């Protein structure tokens, strides 16, 4: 086009600039910009914003900032999206004061932060460890009349609550989320947060029921959260009923969750019973599920069955982890099975499994060092 002396219009230049930006061909970007200035073609705010955003994403804040002030000098006023790109980049680069300065400039220009700006502030402040500032940004959004938090904002807020350990805010978040449209990922995150971190199992169960009433189709993460909540709330019969209703289609994670939940509730025999049933029916299990199942048997005093599960786990081609090896070894110390202890220690040496502090103490206390294999396991520590 240029060689034929055609003069590209504004849209053509914008398309070419966008293409060079996507290719990170910034030398060509400057050439195109120079050509546009030479031809007297005015750059729109959208073009400036695209350029600034691209340089921010490749961590060239120096160039992005120069473009920003060059934009202002040419008489083009930044919009909310222009400010948002720079504010996000400054916070992610730990240049918080510069970000706040830009935010004040935006407010001075009469531009009100939109939903995207608030979400960027919450997310970036949270990642920077500035939790109070993140909560203040959310409070500022909550006071807005024209805009309301969406699921992205609540997702960022939920991450902030986890990082700051402000789990006392979870009930309020659950209450505020009533106006949010259906989003299964956020709902599952709220349920699991209420159980694992917030200590609000009843709230998690109530939220699950509300999900169902609204027409949600729960997935395995929803069921896992519900099972955990029921076990923590000591509603064992309800948890077992839910589990029995989905056991045939459950994956290893669900079996792990119910077994672990029953253990945490002190229901060792029931946990061992249901896990043994899963093993007998050859449902899919992974090494984590076996580790939890073995712990259930050991907690219930079923050492022989635990060792049988340990052998079956290895026969199925699953590699026991450090914790599983040490659980079995500890149980063997208790029953004083010296010969099996020696065999297991040799296996741990071959697999380069380190002893737990407790098992190391038992090994020393019981004078096992006379055996050569024990020197090997001590060397691994």
Per-residue pLDDT in tens (0 to 9) along the chain, 381 residues: 888 888 888 788 878 887 887 787 878 887 887 888 777 777 788 888 888 988 888 888 988 998 899 889 888 899 999 999 999 898 888 888 888 888 889 988 888 888 888 888 888 888 888 889 888 888 888 777 777 887 788 888 888 888 888 888 888 887 777 666 657 888 888 888 888 775 788 888 988 888 888 788 889 999 999 999 999 999 999 999 999 999 988 999 999 999 999 999 999 999 999 999 999 999 999 999 999 999 999 999 898 899 999 999 999 999 898 999 999 988 888 877 788 888 888 888 888 888 888 888 877 775 655 554 554 555 455
Residue 333 lies in a domain: yes
pTM (two decimals): 0.67
C-alpha span between 121 and 52 (Å, rounded): 18
- Tokens 């947060």 locate to 193
The answer to the question of residue 342 being in a domain is yes
Residue 191 domain-assigned?
A: no
Does residue 376 lie in a domain region?
yes
Range of the domain at 329: 321-381
Contacts for 277-286: CB closer than 8 Å, 24+ residues apart: 278/247, 279/309, 279/312, 283/247, 283/248, 283/250, 283/255, 284/251, 284/252, 285/252, 285/255, 285/316, 285/318, 286/252, 286/256, 286/318
- Domain contains 368: yes
The three-class DSSP label of residue 286 is coil
pLDDT of res. 379: 47
Residue 367 lies in a domain: yes
Number of folded domains that form the chain = 1
Whether 145 is in a domain gets the answer no
156 within some domain: no
């Amino acid at each position: 086009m240029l060689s034929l002396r055609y003069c590209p219009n504004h849209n053509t230049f914008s398309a070419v600039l966008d293409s060079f930006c996507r290719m990170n061909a910034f030398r060509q970007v400057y050439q195109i910009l120079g050509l546009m200035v030479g031809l007297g073609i005015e750059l729109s705010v959208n073009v400036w914003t695209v350029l600034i955003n691209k340089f921010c994403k490749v961590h060239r804040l120096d160039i992005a900032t120069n473009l920003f002030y060059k934009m202002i000098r040419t008489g083009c006023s930044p919009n909310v999206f222009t400010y948002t790109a720079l504010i996000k980049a400054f916070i992610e680069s730990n240049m918080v004061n510069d970000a706040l300065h830009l935010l004040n400039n935006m407010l001075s220009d009469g531009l009100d932060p939109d939903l995207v700006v608030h979400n960027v502030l919450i997310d970036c402040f949270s990642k920077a460890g500035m939790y109070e500032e993140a909560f203040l940004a959310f409070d500022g959004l909550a006071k807005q009349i024209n805009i309301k938090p969406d699921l992205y904002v609540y997702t960022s807020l939920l991450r902030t609550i986890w990082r700051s350990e402000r789990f006392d805010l979870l009930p309020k978040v659950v209450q505020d989320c009533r106006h949010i449209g259906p989003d299964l990922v956020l709902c599952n995150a709220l349920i699991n947060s209420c159980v694992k971190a917030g200590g609000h199992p009843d709230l998690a169960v109530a939220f699950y029921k509300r999900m169902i009433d609204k027409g949600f189709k729960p997935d395995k993460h929803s069921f896992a959260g519900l099972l955990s909540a029921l076990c923590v709330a000591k509603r064992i019969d309800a948890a077992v009923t839910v589990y029995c209703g989905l056991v045939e289609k459950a994956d290893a994670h669900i079996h792990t969750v119910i077994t672990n939940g029953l253990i945490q509730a002190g229901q060792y025999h029931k946990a061992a019973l249901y896990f043994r049933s899963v093993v007998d029916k050859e449902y899919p299990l992974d090494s984590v599920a076996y580790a939890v199942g073995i712990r259930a048997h050991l907690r219930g005093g079923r050492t022989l069955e635990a060792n049988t599960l340990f052998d079956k786990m290895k026969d199925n081609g699953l590699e026991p982890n450090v914790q599983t090896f040490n659980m079995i070894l500890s149980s063997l110390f208790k029953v004083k099975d010296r010969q099996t202890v020696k065999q297991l220690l040799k296996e741990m040496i071959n697999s380069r499994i380190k002893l737990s502090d407790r098992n190391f103490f038992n090994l020393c206390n019981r004078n096992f060092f006379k055996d050569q294999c024990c020197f090997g396991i001590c060397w691994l520590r």
